[in-house]
Homo-oligomer: A and B are copies of this chain.
Amino acid sequence: MKKVGVAILGLGVVGGGTYEILTKNREFYQKTQNVDISVECVLELNRERALKLGVPEEKIMSNIAEVICNPDVNIVVEVIGGIDAAREFVLAALNAGKTVVTSNKELFCKYSHELERAAKRQNAGLYFEASCVGGVPIIRTLLDGLQANHITSMMGIINGTTNFILTKMSNEGISYEEALKEAQALGYAESNPVADVEGFDAAYKLSILSSLAFHTKVPFSKVFREGITGVTREMIADGKELGYCLKLLAIGKQTDAGIEVRVHPTFVRTGHPLAAVNDSFNAVYLTGDAVGEVMLYGRGAGALPTGSAIVSDVIYAATHSEIRYSTFKNTANAEKDVRFPSDFSSAYYLRIKVSDKTGVLAKIAALFAKYNISIVEMLQKGEGETASVTLITHETRELAIRNAVSKINALEVASVESVLRVVS
């Protein structure tokens, strides 16, 4: 039976989960995968933590060189997170010819070109299933399951923290601040929540997933990004009334105009499979030219789900002889002939505060007509001086909406309180 030695760099949440799965299931993998996978060592400065997880004292290393020089280590699992140390250690491992498995979305998003070059040079493998959507095997599916398809569109709920917050707000009618506090208390959000709530985390993942789906580097800098900090109770209540759930969607599309990549709060029509993805669950909804619509759903984070993705990569690397490293064109930047249009089309929700004067609605309607925006549904609420109008448009252009909104705001008798994109 083939023997494979693994080193785990970092025994935090995910590292601990990975250690647990690999040690508990060792015999199971011998039987079902015909491979003997042993954890040869871990790199962890906090010896107490490692001992508590059951790692034998002699396997706890505090120096990357000890790991890299160990001839029994074939696969290095990087679960440190962040950039600096992680990048240095991963490059050191690859340069030593070790296969690397990483869960580090920021590192892979920003430095995949450098890591892939090093891997290629040494004929070492480089795997990153755990970098996107935790336990959901979305990367394997793109590479090995839907590879017969031109993927035309991808819509994902790929950040569990924001989905938890939006679900709480929707179910309990509480404010963003209250929901964030709960998420922090439960460990779903960090004390500095910026990476999640401003959409950075989702944008890293979208950059990786759309690069794979569209077979070309989609740099992080091309991702349009809007977080959920501006989401209000009123928006969510309006959405419910109109038949929509509010989700932070990551959207990637390949159209004749180029590749669209964007992360923003979005109304999703109730009944759409993505509308039923609640709490900290994640999902990716893909459209391919042959397969049509496919959705993958599951846990996007957590020790064991992310550990499942890492161990899946370890087994894949151990049981396939093709070295996999170059997954899309090996470059830091987009290829020159790929366009990333700043305009795109979508349906929209608008909430407009209007003065109750004759002719206000007519003025707004005239502006919409001028920009070729047509209305699907309109709802007027409140009376007297503080009436508000909420409406859903047909598919239209983002720039048309922005122009119309600035013209409405210039009217003095009306102001646009919120604008959200809508998926039916």
Contact = CB atoms under 8 A, between A and B. Distances in A.
A315 interface: yes
A145 B292 contact: no
A147 B87 CA distance: 28
Interface string A185-221: 0000000000000000000000000000001000000
Most buried by B among A129, A148, A149, A292: A148
Given A135-B292, A292-B299, A308 B276 contact: no
A137 B294 CA distance: 9
B148 A311 contact: yes
A243 B221 CA distance: 46
A215 B136 CA distance: 21
Interface stretch (A108-116, A319-327, A393-401, A411-419): A319-327
Interface range for A: 35 or more
Interface in A132-170: 135-137, 140-141, 144-150
B316 A144 contact: yes
A147 B32 contact: yes
A148 B140 CA distance: 14
B291 A147 contact: no
A77 to B, nearest CB: 12
Given A137-B146, A144-B312, A150-B28, A293 B298 contact: yes
A23 to B, nearest CB: 12
Interface of A: 17, 21, 25, 28-29, 31-33, 129, 135-137, 140-141, 144-150, 215, 271, 273, 276-277, 288-299, 302, 304-305, 307-309, 311-312, 314-316, 319-322
Given A33-B147, A135-B290, A273-B297, 11 more contacts: A21-B148, A25-B150, A32-B215, A140-B145, A148-B315, A288-B308, A290-B308, A291-B308, A292-B299, A320-B320, A321-B322
